[in-house]
Amino acid sequence: MSEFMGKTAIVSGAALGMGNLISRRLAEEGAKVLLTDIDLAKVEETAKAIQAKGGRAEAVRTDVRQYGEVENAVNTAKEEFGSVDFLFNFAGGSPSRVFGRTESFAQRDPALLEWGIDVNLRGALFFCRAVFPFMIENKGGVIVNIGSIDGVTGSSAVEYSAAKSGMTGLTKSLALVGASHGIRAVCVIPGPVLTRPEMANMKTLLGRAGKPEELVDFILFLCSDKAAFITGSSHLIDGGRACGAMSCTRP
């Protein structure tokens, strides 16, 4: 029996990509999953697909920039499923890509800078704050923050890289304040993962982008009892891209 059986997981950014995939995988492992995203139609579609297979899932529209909406999502998980055991902070994205903007940093609209920080860092902070009382009540829990290789190497998406690098400090701080309550926090820093075709163009030492399943398997390991001694740490899963940044070549 999976150790996730009967546990409750909240996933932000669950409409697409890795957030969507891990939501489905957690449900397959027997977890009760609350899918949150600003795109309600997408998370409702996934929740219904999980339910059709006999799993337990609910969907809540959540703008991670608004603490009230984050708190509502967390309260819903507690009310519907009885606990909050895992939090996965997947919500994020580069505003240049999301909004199709091509201007350089020197000409970038300050509103895009604000969006980049709010969605990629403040939203994760809000979710962590909202789940902490329930994890303290449970005498334990695991928080997984999702960074980015761009937060390690830097990138022209300045606000995105800045926010994602902040996930490391957030994770360490959560580990410090959570340890006495049995709460662990980890940060996973993906390199290129094939959730979008263009990821295949990002160079790595291993000569390929990661498979989504490789990232999910690693995250689930970090949440498991096998990783019970791991907290406050950040974990690169990037095919070695950080070793040679954008000029990765294999000998």
128 vs 143: CA distance, rounded Å: 8
67 has catalytic annotation: no
Instruction: Evaluate whether 160 touches 150 at the Cβ level (below 8 Å).
Output: yes
25 vs 31: CA distance, rounded Å: 9
The phi, psi pair for 240, rounded to 5°, reads: 85, 10
The token duo for 34 is 């609350």
- CA-based nearest residue to 33, from 70, 90, 84: 84
Residues 6+ apart with CB under 8 A from 13: 19, 36, 37, 64, 89, 90, 91, 92
Query: Among 27, 146, 160, 161, which one carries the catalytic annotation?
Result: 160
Q: Using CB atoms within 10 A of its CB, is residue 188 exposed (0-12), middle (13-18) or buried (19+)? A: buried
Point out the residues that are catalytic.
160
